[in-house]
Amino acid sequence: MIPELVDWVSDPANWQGTDGVPARVLQHAGYVALALLIAAAIAVPLGLFVGHTRRGAVVLVGSGNAIRALPTLGLVTFLFLLFTDSFVAALIGLVVLGVPPILAGTYAGIQAVDHDVVDAAEGMGMRGGQRLWRIEVPIALPLILGGVRNAVLQLVATAAVAAYVGLGGLGRYLFDGLANFDYGEVTAGAILTALLAVILDLVIAAVQRALVPKGVRIATAGRRAAGPAATEEVVA
Amino acid sequence: MGIEFRGVTKKYPDGTVAVDDLSLTVEDGTITVLVGPSGCGKTTSLRMINRMIEPTAGTVLLDGQDIRESDPAVLRRGIGYVIQHAGLFPHRTVLGNVATVPLLSGWDRRKARQRAAELLETVGLPAELGRRYPAQLSGGQQQRVGVARALAADAPVLLMDEPFSAVDPVVRQGLQDELLRLQARLGKTIVFVTHDIDEAIRLGDKVAVLRVGGRLAQYGTPADVLRHPVDDFVAGFVGKDRGYRGLSFLSAEGVRVEDVPTIRVGSAPDVVEPHWRLAVNDEGEPRGWLPPDSTVDGELAESDLVAGGSLYRQGDPIRGALDAALSSPAGLGVVVDEGGKAIGVVTAHQVLDVIEGHPEGVGGA
Ligand SMILES: Nc1ncnc2c1ncn2[C@@H]1O[C@H](COP(=O)(O)OP(=O)(O)OP(=O)(O)O)[C@@H](O)[C@H]1O
Ligand SMILES: [Mg+2]
């Protein structure tokens, strides 16, 4: 397995053209990004609404779990039969997969905002929208972005099914490699997928670090380490 | 701006009657304290003033106007509100928290922050704290920020829901003093909720005692409530030592201040005397007592002294005079002037004579 992997990786042909690693990585990341954007556009507003109004939480949690139980491969195949368009099928499949983690994170984040804080905001004369955007969202940001992070990890892993319905991405190496008994290619595909996941995760972690308000970070650190961490931050 | 409750009732959807036919007038520029056991409807009553809760029946009037006629958000921006446990915004700095209402009301950023900085000083917080986040403050500091935030709108009305409950008694007393000082300067209409009768008596111009079920048991001045509780519930609630507490409202007029032999710390007492001597420093402030028949080697040091009792400031209510006499090792309560200089002593006996001769009496029921 290792010699085959080395052979595959060291073959310059595998790094060039439309089948080459750079092109496939970009394709894969593209599917992930597009699915993530659409999933976030659906899940974030829905999560904000349910978290803010506390209406429909039961339905939300139930349907989130139901979706998670769906086998993605089966879903994508079904969608492919339905739409006879592999791109649409794969994209919908990925979006369906990306929605639950973002929805759960957003809802949980908004819902976890200290009730006293929301109450104070309302008592000081903030209207619903002001309360949501100026108070609830900034405080919920760590959990919202945590949901996005979970979604990205799942999407990177699952975007390989796009290849199953005939599209590109790193999944190509898996399916083609299996078909040709080229285990070097299969292994390379798996490793590249994992690497992509790690890199994207680091990127989002950096975004998270940049976006989460300092006060929220200090409060969370203080709660986790009950004291020492908080004093450290005071000095810093 | 006065506040009036007219036959206000709040029944929650589950059937709990939290406030039952409450009628009460809060006078302009005074502190009115709502006090009562847990669950008696204090918070509910308070929150009906800024429409955080809508009454099921009755009317709340602010400055003679039915509050239902105003937009809730606008109404709230014009009423300072300190919620229990401060409820500070964790993602905003202390200054950002305090500037919230001015910014909501459309002030420009610079002016709002400047106002916030002033308010930190007003509530006795150092300016450097303005840059910190709530998680970096002690409980007492957080509660001060909560008060500053409520003051920021410069609203004539201030609602305070157990604002000092999360701090220890010493800090709490400091915050209470601060509030009284502020009020002497600002003259706001304050509705203050507490379940601590001592706090109610200290702070209130008027005290409203509520009983469980949300009914008003008694409404009057603290002295009134202490001296003449209307029933057993109020009598029980204001506590056993209400006779002694009632002395807080009795003037000490008629208590004679007597001379006392003094001795300066740092001087060398060459004679032994058979009675207590009050030791004072160069400024004339009391430092302690030198017991009868004591001999001192060389200069009188503070370590030669017995610690003194509480001090009675001339002009304060008679409770302080009695306490000074009772807590003094010499049986002589030290009387000081405004500047803290000892001017003489009182005995418990004398103080009691004055109390007994007082036309108002002491204890009431
Ligand atoms: N949202 C609600 N739904 C139902 N009952 C409520 C609700 N809020 C308060 N109550 C009930 O109404 C009564 C009065 O509550 P309130 O919070 O006004 O009491 P309180 O005097 O402020 O008590 P505490 O000193 O414990 O804060 C209590 O019996 C409480 O259980
Ligand atoms: Mg309460």
Please give the average per-residue pLDDT across A11-28, as a whole number.
Answer: 86
Q: Does residue B335 register a pLDDT over 90?
A: yes
Q: Are residues B291 and B200 in the same domain?
A: no
Residue B243 lies in a domain: no
ipTM for this model: 0.79
pLDDT of residue B226: 87
**Cβ-proximal residues to A132 (8 Å cutoff; 6+ apart), any chain:** A48, A52, A110
Q: Are residues B127 and B210 in the same domain?
A: yes
pLDDT more than 90, % of chain B: 50
Q: How far is CA A168 from the centre of its chain?
A: 20
Three-state DSSP at B333 gives strand
Q: Does residue A75 register a pLDDT over 90?
A: no
Give the Cα separation of A213 and A145 in Å (integer): 13
Residue B266 lies in a domain: yes
Give the Cα separation of B121 and B53 in Å (integer): 33
Whether residue A234 and residue B75 make contact (CB cut-off 8 A), yes or no, is no
Q: Does residue B10 have its Cβ closer than 6 Å to ligand 1?
A: no
Give the Cα separation of B204 and A176 in Å (integer): 82
Q: Are residues B125 and B180 in the same domain?
A: yes
Three-state DSSP at A144 gives helix
The shortest CB-CB distance from B91 to any of A127, A216, A233 is to: A216
What is each CA distance from A150 to A25, A48, A154, A208, B239, in whole angstroms? 20, 18, 6, 13, 58
Q: Strands, E, within chain B: which ranges?
A: 3-11, 17-26, 31-35, 57-62, 65-66, 79-82, 157-161, 189-194, 206-211, 215-220, 262-264, 277-280, 286-290, 311-313, 332-336, 342-347
Q: What are phi and psi of A49, to 5 degrees?
A: -60, -50
Give residue-wise pLDDT tens across range A155-183. Answer: 998 888 888 887 888 888 888 888 888 88
Q: Are residues B123 and B271 in the same domain?
A: no
Q: What residue in B sits closest to A216 (Cα-Cα)?
A: B91
Distance A140 CA to ligand 1 centre (A): 28
The shortest CB-CB distance from B83 to any of A120, A215, A233 is to: A120
CB–CB contacts below 8 A, A to B: 84
Residue B245 lies in a domain: no
Amino acid at position B82, single letter: V
Residue B201 lies in a domain: yes
**Which of B10, B35, B42, B209 most suits a substitution to test ligand 1, by most atoms within 8 Å of the C-beta?**
B42
Domain final position from B204, B238, B272: B238
Give the Cα separation of A135 and A213 in Å (integer): 11
Give the Cα separation of B64 and B60 in Å (integer): 9
Give residue-wise pLDDT tens across range B26-59. Answer: 999 999 999 999 999 999 999 999 999 999 999 9
The closest alpha carbon to B164, from B33, B340, B352, belongs to: B33
**Which of B17, B22, B35, B44 most suits a substitution to test ligand 1, by most atoms within 8 Å of the C-beta?**
B44
Residue B255 lies in a domain: no
A122 close contact with B: CB closer than 8 A: yes
Q: Are residues B182 and B86 in the same domain?
A: yes
The shortest CB-CB distance from B91 to any of A120, A139, A222 is to: A139
CATH at residue B333? 3.10.580.10
CATH at residue B49? 3.40.50.300
Whether residue B133 and residue A122 make contact (CB cut-off 8 A), yes or no, is no
Give B61's strand partners. Answer: B4, B66
Give the Cα separation of A7 and B72 in Å (integer): 72
DSSP B198-238: HHHHHH-SEEEEEETTTEEEEEE-HHHHHHS-SSHHHHHHH
Q: Are residues B17 and B106 in the same domain?
A: yes
Give residue-wise pLDDT tens across range B114-165. Answer: 999 999 988 889 999 999 999 999 888 898 899 999 988 788 999 999 988 8
Whether residue B132 and residue A135 make contact (CB cut-off 8 A), yes or no, is no
Domain final position from B222, B238, B254: B238
Q: Are residues B271 and B222 in the same domain?
A: no
Q: How many domains does chain B have?
A: 2
Q: Does residue B40 have its Cβ closer than 6 Å to ligand 1?
A: yes
**Which of B10, B11, B12 most suits a substitution to test ligand 1, by most atoms within 8 Å of the C-beta?**
B12
Q: Are residues B146 and B294 in the same domain?
A: no
Please give the residue range of the domain that contains residue B288: 262-356
Record the pTM: 0.77
DSSP A45-109: HHHHHHHHH--SHHHHHHHHHHHHHS-HHHHHHHHHHHH--HHHHHHHHHHHHHHHHHHHHHHHH
Q: Does residue A39 register a pLDDT over 50?
A: yes
Give B258's strand partners. Answer: B345
Query: What is the end-to-end Cα distance of chain B in Å, rounded?
Result: 35
> Which residues of chain B are within 8 Å of residue A123 when distances are taken between CB atoms?
47, 50, 52, 76, 81, 83
Give the Cα separation of B260 and B336 in Å (integer): 12
CB atoms within 10 A of CB A38: 16
Q: Are residues B231 and B268 in the same domain?
A: no
Q: Are residues B304 and B197 in the same domain?
A: no
Give the Cα separation of B125 and B144 in Å (integer): 8
Q: Does residue A227 register a pLDDT over 60?
A: no
Q: What is the mean pLDDT of chain B?
A: 89
Determine which of B67, B91, B94, B157 to mutate to test the interface with A (most A C-beta atoms within 10 Å).
B91
Residue B244 lies in a domain: no
Q: Which atom of ligand 1 is nearest to the CA of B214?
A: 14
Whether residue A130 and residue B132 make contact (CB cut-off 8 A), yes or no, is no
Whether residue A123 and residue B85 make contact (CB cut-off 8 A), yes or no, is no
Inter-axis angle of helices A57-69 and A21-53, nearest 10? 150
pLDDT more than 70, % of chain A: 94
Amino acid at position A38, single letter: I
Give the Cα separation of A36 and A30 in Å (integer): 10
Tokens of B269: 């007492």
Residue B247 lies in a domain: no
Q: Are residues B39 and B170 in the same domain?
A: yes
Tokens of B159: 């609602």
Report all structural domains of chain A as residue ranges with CATH numbers, in order of start.
20-235 (1.10.3720.10)
Give residue-wise pLDDT tens across range A105-146. Answer: 999 999 999 999 999 999 999 999 999 999 999 999 999 999
Q: Are residues B88 and B138 in the same domain?
A: yes
Tokens of B255: 């208590």
Judge whether B203 and B191 are in contact, CB under 8 Å: no
Whether residue B134 and residue A219 make contact (CB cut-off 8 A), yes or no, is yes
Q: Which residue has the higher pLDDT, B67 or B297?
A: B67
Q: Does residue B42 have its Cβ closer than 6 Å to ligand 1?
A: yes
What is each CA distance from A141 to A49, A128, A209, B7, B19, in whole angstroms? 15, 18, 10, 45, 39
Residue B309 lies in a domain: yes
Give the Cα separation of B306 and B91 in Å (integer): 52
The shortest CB-CB distance from B81 to any of A114, A124, A218 is to: A124
The closest alpha carbon to A229, from B71, B230, B184, B136, belongs to: B136
